[in-house]
């Protein structure tokens, strides 16, 4: 069973939620409206993560093959250990 979360809003925020939750509004309840806002925020966050990853990978994917160098797993492990030691 999922644990619930209670949220209080007042003033302008409460009035705004009421405009979204009406027979002619987009939502049947405040809970439905809040869940939709959370889903949208979650999707935005996930998309931002993908965009960041794509931004990091794009230069490598677009680089000329002559720019690549061959490395072994040992080389990568050694480099990671050096970076870890520098951070410590």
pLDDT-derived band at 1 (thresholds 50, 70, 90) equals low
46-82 pLDDT per residue, tens:
999 999 999 999 998 899 988 888 899 999 999 999 9
27 beta partners: 21
8-25 pLDDT per residue, tens:
999 999 999 999 998 887
Q: Which residues contact 20 (CB under 8 A, 6 or more apart)?
A: 26, 27, 33
18-49 pLDDT per residue, tens:
999 988 878 999 999 999 999 999 999 999 99
Three-class secondary structure of residue 88 per DSSP: coil
% of the chain with per-residue pLDDT over 70: 98
Q: Which residues contact 30 (CB under 8 A, 6 or more apart)?
A: 17, 21
Query: Helices 11-20 and 30-62: crossing angle, nearest 10°?
Result: 90
């Amino acid at each position: 069973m999922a644990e619930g979360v209670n949220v209080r809003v007042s003033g302008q925020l409460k009035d705004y939620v009421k405009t979204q939750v009406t027979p002619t509004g987009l939502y049947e309840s405040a809970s439905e409206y809040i869940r939709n806002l959370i889903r949208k925020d979650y999707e935005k966050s996930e998309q931002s993560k993908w965009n960041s990853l794509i931004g990091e990978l794009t230069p490598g994917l677009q680089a000329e093959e002559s720019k690549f160098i061959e490395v072994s797993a040992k080389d990568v492990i050694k480099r990671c250990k050096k970076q870890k030691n520098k951070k410590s």
